[in-house]
Amino acid sequence: MNRRNFLKTLGAVGALSAVAPQLLRSSEAKSQKVAASPKRLIVVLAQGGWDTTYALDPKVQSPEVDVPVGTIQRFGGIDIFADASRPNVSAFFTKYAALTAVVRGINVGSVSHLEAMKRMATGTREERNADVASIVAHDLGNAMPLPYLVLGETAFAGPYAASAGRVGATNQLISLLDPTEAYKTAVPAVAPTPAEAALLARYAAAGAARVQATRGAAGYNRRRVQDFADSLERGERLKAVREGLGRRGKSLALLDQVDVALDALSQDVAFCTMLSTRTEWDTHDTNIDQSESHETTFAGLTRLLDGLSARKGIKPGTKMIDDTVVLCFAEFGRTPKLNSNQGKDHWPVTAAMVMGGGVAGGRMFGATNASVQPEKVDYTTGAASASGKSLASANFAAGVLNLCGVNSADHLPNTEAFDAFVA
């Protein structure tokens, strides 16, 4: 090869290497199964680690796995382990199996509570990254008073912390919304009358207008002054859910959280919410307590989907269930076998439920074998396949983003989305 041809070839290789990443990204973007219409997101955390054999991933008693009392029952296209001792589980699937996708065999790759929760919620191993609800709230609902309302204990807001608000473990948010619930100080709290409140609001608005006409006329200052002005209006809208939050010092049970979440979303206060089952899932000593936790959780899920099915949706003639996704998961599962204390320890494989708008419901996706080990999955069909791929927490998180109408490639660029459950 002469020098001229060598340089031509080298130039062609260089040009190809420059455009190859763009071609790859373009190909990946086309393969994303992103929902056409945006969806709100409600996340329900079963924090502590559930035993998937109690409901979502039925197994047969064997030397490899210990299962609770019950039998395998079929609800549409989903097989669930159910029993008369867990009536709320059966009631939920009888009513809402058609709107529910069960995803099994999600490999978390950790048995540490915080590490596993971080991986399931964010799809990454970085605590500084945002969880899926925070991403959806920021990308699709950032103009709302409180885009991401956190009612539970755990959330990862990451770079979108300004879009998130936590009620707090003892409802501390109430102290900002209601002067009578403020913390005790040397000066007693004074609640303004409606007339006084209106006067204060006009004074603040006038002050913002004066600054915006001078130092805030352009650039960075203008944006910050506008942020302040917007915050006044958002603060008033946030008070719309104050009554549902109860009193400061009292944590909200799951059913109470459900009511607050429904009000916040239906009144356009928030776009996404994070709820906690607030039950004891970490059953190292008495695994039978999983039964009560499942009952509490499925009662809450039924109440949640009942509310979404009854309230008006964004578009005329629709219901909230049509434009809202509900995601329920635990950070990991429990060991297949009972330990010497009749409990089960941490297991790096879990299952999840995805419900509501845009979900390919009434179906199961992913799988585990007889000893609760994850199977490889065909990412197109969602079925177990020897020639398939592993299903990790990152792949699942990416699929949830796509379901809600956020292109997962924008936030998890090196992760293939498992989005077979997107209708």
Better-predicted residue by pLDDT, 236 or 15: 236
In this predicted structure, the answer to whether residue 26 has a pLDDT above a threshold of 50 is no
Q: How far is CA 63 from the centre of its chain?
A: 36
User: How many CB atoms neighbour CB 25 within 10 A?
Assistant: 12
**pLDDT for the residue numbered 134:** 98
Average pLDDT, whole number, for the chain? Answer: 88
* Distance of alpha carbon 32 from alpha carbon 406, whole angstroms: 10
* Helix extents (H) in 32-150: 87-96, 113-122, 132-141
**pLDDT for the residue numbered 217:** 80
Better-predicted residue by pLDDT, 47 or 241: 47
Which band of pLDDT confidence, cut at 50, 70 and 90, is reported for residue 402? Answer: very high
In this predicted structure, the answer to whether residue 312 has a pLDDT above a threshold of 50 is yes
Query: DSSP letter at 397?
Result: H
Query: DSSP letter at 153?
Result: S
Q: 280 is written with which tokens?
A: 């004891």
**pLDDT for the residue numbered 302:** 98
**pLDDT for the residue numbered 17:** 42
**pLDDT for the residue numbered 179:** 67
Among residues 268, 353, 271, which one has the least CA distance to residue 41? 271
In this predicted structure, the answer to whether residue 111 has a pLDDT above a threshold of 80 is yes
For the stretch 354-399, pLDDT in tens is 999 999 999 999 999 999 999 999 999 999 999 999 999 999 999 9
For the stretch 217-274, pLDDT in tens is 888 888 877 777 777 776 676 676 666 565 665 678 999 999 999 999 999 989 999 9
Q: What is the mean pLDDT of residues 60-77?
A: 97
Spell 257-273 as b/e; 16+ CB within 10 A means b: bbbbbbbbbbeebbbbb
Better-predicted residue by pLDDT, 115 or 187: 115
Residues 6+ apart with CB under 8 A from 312: 266, 318, 319, 320
Residues 6+ apart with CB under 8 A from 20: none
Lowest mean pLDDT among 98-107, 157-166, 215-224: 215-224
**pLDDT for the residue numbered 227:** 72
Among residues 229, 196, 227, which one has the least CA distance to residue 210? 229
Better-predicted residue by pLDDT, 238 or 99: 99
User: How many CB atoms neighbour CB 55 within 10 A?
Assistant: 27
Query: DSSP letter at 192?
Result: P
**pLDDT for the residue numbered 229:** 74
* Distance of alpha carbon 208 from alpha carbon 223, whole angstroms: 12
**pLDDT for the residue numbered 288:** 97
Burial class of residue 295 (count of CB atoms within 10 Å of its CB; 0-12, 13-18, 19+): middle
Which band of pLDDT confidence, cut at 50, 70 and 90, is reported for residue 123? Answer: very high
Better-predicted residue by pLDDT, 341 or 162: 341
In this predicted structure, the answer to whether residue 9 has a pLDDT above a threshold of 60 is no
Q: What is the mean pLDDT of residues 299-306?
A: 98
- Supply the pTM of this predicted model: 0.83
Q: 166 is written with which tokens?
A: 């936590």
The correct answer on CATH 3.40.720.10 for the domain covering 30-177+248-410 is yes
In this predicted structure, the answer to whether residue 197 has a pLDDT above a threshold of 60 is yes
Q: How many CA atoms are closer than 13 Å to the CA of 81, on its beta-carbon side?
A: 18
User: How many CB atoms neighbour CB 330 within 10 A?
Assistant: 26
**CA angle, residues 241, 303, 293, in degrees to nearest 5:** 110
For the stretch 405-415, pLDDT in tens is 999 999 999 99
CA distances from 221 to 142, 145, 190, 199, 216 (A): 20, 21, 32, 25, 5
- In the chain, domain spans: 30-177+248-410, 179-241
Which band of pLDDT confidence, cut at 50, 70 and 90, is reported for residue 23? Answer: very low
**pLDDT for the residue numbered 3:** 45
In this predicted structure, the answer to whether residue 180 has a pLDDT above a threshold of 80 is no
Q: What is the mean pLDDT of residues 413-420?
A: 96
3-state percent helix, strand, coil for the chain, nearest multiple of 5? 40, 15, 40
Amino acid at site 48 = G
Q: 218 is written with which tokens?
A: 């352009």
In this predicted structure, the answer to whether residue 140 has a pLDDT above a threshold of 90 is yes
Residue with tokens 């990416």: 398
Burial class of residue 61 (count of CB atoms within 10 Å of its CB; 0-12, 13-18, 19+): exposed
Residue with tokens 């390919």: 360
In this predicted structure, the answer to whether residue 303 has a pLDDT above a threshold of 60 is yes
Among residues 192, 137, 193, 183, which one has the least CA distance to residue 160? 137
* Distance of alpha carbon 270 from alpha carbon 149, whole angstroms: 6
**pLDDT for the residue numbered 222:** 81
Percentage of the residues of the chain whose pLDDT score is greater than 90: 68
Q: 338 is written with which tokens?
A: 């009972």
Q: What is the mean pLDDT of residues 300-309?
A: 98
Q: What is the mean pLDDT of residues 314-321?
A: 95
Residue by residue, DSSP assigns 238-268 as HGGGTGGG--TT-PPPHHHHHHHHHHHHHTT
Query: What are the backbone angles phi and psi of residue 306, rounded to the nearest 5°?
Result: -60, -45
**pLDDT for the residue numbered 244:** 56
Q: How far is CA 402 from the centre of its chain?
A: 13
